[in-house]
Amino acid sequence: MSLLAGTVAFGWHPLRLPATGIELPYGTALARIAITLAYVLVTELVVAGLAFLLSVSTDSPLGAVGGAVGLVIVSNILDAVTALGSWREILPTHWQFAWLDAFSAQLSWGRMIEGAAVSVSYALVLFALAFRHFRTKDIVS
């Protein structure tokens, strides 16, 4: 929506990369924006998976939302602790800014692939646990 609003208000211009000042043509710019959108959606699967697991585990909707937000907060705090070294790479929010590689002069996939792999792994486990718990839950009473 912000892209649409900005285009309506200011017109469409080539995308200028902040670090280098290189301008990307329209097609390349839209492709990079689509890559960024897809990556961000994939990384948010962890939060969705935990929220879903908590929502089928508790009767409090705010507890599910609070737990998912708490995951992001705690993960960001732990990611800031440099003494954890390479252990930080398994945190769900460690790769949250890897999408910035899509806006470099040369598109780099390495960090985005690692971040997507971590996010999908966590999401698969969390959604599987949620569905397993949901199958055994009595929703009639």
66-93 pLDDT tens trace: 999 999 999 999 999 999 999 999 999 9
Residue 7 structure tokens: 């285009």
Which two three-digit tokens encode residue 52? 């879903």
Is the pLDDT confidence value at 30 over 60? yes
The pTM of this model reads 0.85
Spatial CB neighbours of 17, under 8 Å, sequence gap ≥ 6: 23, 24, 103, 104, 105
- Local confidence band at 33 (pLDDT 50, 70, 90 cut-offs): very high
Position 67 scores a pLDDT of: 92
Whether 60 shows a pLDDT value over 60: the answer reads: yes
* Distance (Å, whole) CA 48 – CA 55: 10
Residue 15 phi, psi dihedral angles, 5° rounding:
-80, 120
Average pLDDT score, the chain: 91
Q: How far, in Å, CA of 69 to CA of 73, rounded?
A: 6
What is the structure's pLDDT at 46? 95
What is residue 26's predicted lDDT score, i.e. its pLDDT?
87
How far, in Å, CA of 45 to CA of 34, rounded? 17
Give pLDDT, residue 135. 86
Helix axes 26-43, 110-136, angle to 10 degrees: 40
Q: How many CA atoms lie within 13 A of 124 on its CB side?
A: 6
User: What residue type is 51 in one-letter code?
Assistant: A
- Does the structure show a pLDDT above 70 at 5? yes
